[in-house]
A and B are shown apart, each in its own frame.
Chain A
Amino acid sequence: MGSYSNRSKIVSRKKMNLWELIYLPAVFKGMWITLKHIFRRPATVKYPEVKREFSEIYRGLHVLKRDDEGRERCTACGLCAVACPAEAITMVAAERKPGEENLYREEKYAAVYEINMLRCIFCGLCEEACPKEAIFLTKRTVASEYTRDKFIYGKDILLEPADPDKRIDITKRLTPEVIEFKKDKNAKHNE
C-alpha cells in the first residue's frame, strides 16, 4: 500500500534491549521528572479569591456607547450584523421622533438591538465595521445562565448608562494600531 501523505511514519517494532527490558532506568527517569514537578509552582489560580488578570484589550462582553451628551451613537445601519461571521447580531431600526433629539444622535436608531452571546465568537469584527464608534468589546465577561434564551442580550444589558460616572471605559481598546486603522474611515459626522 502506498503512502497517502508525506506525514506518515514508519512504526518501529524493534525488540527492547536488556537495558530497556529491566524497566528500572526508565522508571527512575520518570520519577526524576515528576519529582522536579513537585517543587514547581502550581499553575492554579484560586478563582474566587484571586482573579486571573485580563489583557487590557480583552475582547469580552459588548457595550453600546453613548456620545458625550448621553445620546445613543448607534444608527442601526446594520454593518455590524453584516460583518458578524457568527450572525449573532439582529436589530430593528426606528425613526427618531421630534423631541427625542436628546436620546438619539442620528435620525434613525436601533429600537431593538440584540446579540446572541451563544453565537458570538468575540472576534471584534462588529467593532471594526461600525462607522459610528458605537459598539465596542470590553474586559467584562458574559455571565453563565441556566437557559439559552437568557443569553440573547438586548439593549438593557448592552447599552451603557447615561450617567457620565458610570460610562464604560473603552479607551484601552483604542490602541495606536486601531486609531491608525480608523483614521482612513469616513468619520466626519463622528466629530
Chain B
Amino acid sequence: MATALIYKVFLASAILVISLVVAMYSTLIERKVAAFIQDRLGPSRAGPWGLLQPLADGIKLFFKEEFMPNTADKFLYILGPALTMFVALLTSAVIPWGPDITIGGNVFPLQVADINIGILYILAILSIGVYGIMIGGWASNNKYGLLGAIRASSQMISYELAMSLAIIAIVMMTGSLSMREIVSQQQGFHWNVFYQPLGFLIFLVCAFAETNRSPFDLPECETELVGGYHTEYSSMKLGFYLFAEYINMFISGAVMATLFFGGYHFPYIDQLGLSQNAFAFVSFLVLFAKITFFGFIFMWIRWTLPRFRFDQLMRMGWKMLIPLAILNILVTGAVILVKF
C-alpha cells in the first residue's frame, strides 16, 4: 500500500514536471513555427537555436512588476490565474501514459488514477477551466477584461456541447467511460479516428475553441480587446495564464491521441520483443510523438487562419457542429444496431 502511494506521488510529480517543461518549451516551438511559416528564423540568440529562451522568459516574468489595479477585487484577482493553472494541470491525472511497468515484482500502471468515469472527469474539469478566465476577467474591473471573460464563457458553453456529443459516439462504440479501457480497445491499428472521422473533426475544432487558440482566440483578441481577460495582469500572474494555455494544448493533444489515435498504441511495437519496461517506455514515446504532432497542428492552424467573427463562431458552434455531432451519434447508433 505504501509503495503504491509513493509511486503515485512520484508519478504525479513526474507528470507535473513534464507538463510544465513541455509548456515552457511549447512557447519556444510556437515562436519557431511562427517564424518558419513567415520565412523568419525565430528566437536564436539565447543559447543554440534559442534553447534558453523559455528560461529567459520565465526569469523575466518573475522579475516584472506585480501590478494590481486599485479597483480590482484583490482575492478574485489572484484566484483567477491560480485556478486556471490548477485546473489545467488536473486533467492529466486520468490520461494513461503507457502500459504497466514492473519494478521489483510489483506492477504499476502508468496512469495516476484509473477512474471508471475518466471521460466525464475530463469534461468536468475542462468546464471548470473557464472559471479561471471568467473570474480573472471580471475581478480586474476592466471593460476589456470583462468582455474577454464574457466571450470566453459563451464560447466554452457553445463548444463544450458539441465536444461532449462527439465523445458520446466514442463511448457508444467502446461501451466504457474509462480512458484505459478506450485505449486498450484501440490496440494495433484499430484507432477510433478510422471509425469516427467526423467525431474526430468535431472534437478537434472544439479543442481549439476550448483552449482559446486561434482561430477561436476571441477572449484574448488583441485587435479588439487589448489583451482580453488578461489585460490587467502582469508578471507571473500573466505568466500563469499564458502557461495554462500551453498546458491545455498539451493535455488536449493527449486527450485527442488517447480517444482517437490509439493512445500509446502503435502497430507492431508489441512484436519487437522488448522487455515489459522498455515496451512501456517506447509506448510512452509513441504517445508523446502523437501529442507533439497535435501540438504542431495547433500552432500550424494558429499561424494560418485569421480569427472568426463572433457571430460566425456562434453560428458554427450551434448550427453546424452540434447538428453534425448529433447526426454522428445517430449514424453510430444505427451501425451498432445493424452490426450486433
The interface of chain A, by Cβ under 8 A from chain B, is 22-23, 27, 30-31, 33-35, 37-38, 40-44, 46
Q: Answer whether residue B38 sits at the interface, using C-beta atoms and an 8 A cutoff.
A: yes
* Bound-state Cα–Cα, A30 to B300, Å: 10
**Top 7 nearest A-B pairs by Cβ distance?**
A44-B41, A30-B304, A34-B304, A38-B36, A34-B37, A42-B41, A43-B39
Question: What's the least CB distance linking B36 to chain A, in Å?
Answer: 5
Among the interface residues A22, A34, A46, which one has the most CB atoms of the partner chain B within 10 A? A34
Return chain B residues, CB-CB under 8 Å to A30: 304-305
- B-chain residues with CB within 8 Å of residue A44 when the two chains form the complex: 39-41
- A44 to B41, alpha carbons, bound, how many Å? 6
A37 to chain B, nearest CB (A): 5
**A31 and B41 contacting across the interface, CB-CB below 8 Å:** no
Expressed in whole angstroms, the minimum distance between the Cβ of A188 and any Cβ of chain B is 55
CB within 8 A of B36: which of A22, A23, A37, A46?
A: A37
Q: Look across to chain A and name the residue whose beta carbon is closest to the beta carbon of B38.
A: A37
User: What residues on A are CB-neighbors of B300 within 8 Å?
Assistant: 31, 34-35
Question: Which A residues lie within 8 Å of B40 (CB)?
Answer: 42-44
Interfacial chain A residues near B35, Cβ < 8 Å: 42
Nearest CB in chain B: distance from A121 CB, A: 29
- Check if B305 sits within 8 Å of A27, measured CB to CB: yes
**Residues of B bordering A, CB below 8 Å:** 33, 35-41, 44, 300-301, 303-305, 316, 320
Per the bound structure, the CA–CA distance linking A100 and B322 in Å amounts to 93
Q: Which residues of chain B come closer than 8 Å to A46, judged between CB atoms? A: 41, 44
Q: Are A37 and B301 closer than 8 Å at their CB atoms?
A: no
**How far, in angstroms, from A44 to B301 measured CA to CA in the complex?**
23
How far apart sit A46 and B320, CA to CA, in the bound complex (Å)? 47
CB distance from B268 to the nearest CB of A (A): 28
Specify which chain B residues have a CB less than 8 angstroms from the CB of A43 in the assembled complex. Answer: 39-40
Given known contacts A27-B305, A31-B300, A31-B304, A37 and B44 CB-to-CB distance under 8 angstroms: no
Is the beta-carbon distance between B39 and A37 smaller than 8 angstroms? yes
**CB-nearest residue of chain A relative to B312?**
A23
Query: How far does the alpha carbon of A22 sit from the alpha carbon of B304 in the complex, in Å?
Result: 17
Residue among A35, A38, A40 with the highest chain B CB neighbour number at 10 A: A38
Residues of B within 8 A of A42 (CB): 35-36, 39-41
> Is A31 touching B39 in the complex (CB atoms < 8 A)?
no
- Chain B residues contacting A34 (CB-CB under 8 Å) are 37, 300, 303-304
Partner pick for B37 among A22, A27, A37, CB 8 A cutoff: A37
Nearest CB to that of A45 among chain B residues?
A: B41
**Minimal beta-carbon separation of A189 from chain B (angstroms):** 54
Inside 8 A of A27's CB, which chain B residues have their CB? 301, 304-305
A-B contact pairs, 25 of them (CB 8 A): A22-B320, A27-B301, A27-B304, A27-B305, A31-B300, A31-B301, A31-B304, A33-B304, A34-B303, A34-B304, A35-B300, A37-B36, A37-B37, A37-B38, A38-B36, A38-B37, A40-B39, A41-B39, A42-B35, A42-B36, A42-B40, A42-B41, A43-B39, A44-B40, A46-B44
- Chain B residues with Cβ below 8 Å from A37 are 36-39
Q: In the assembly, what is the distance between CA of A35 and CA of B304, in Å? A: 9
Taking the closest CB of chain B, its distance from the CB of A34, in whole angstroms, is 5
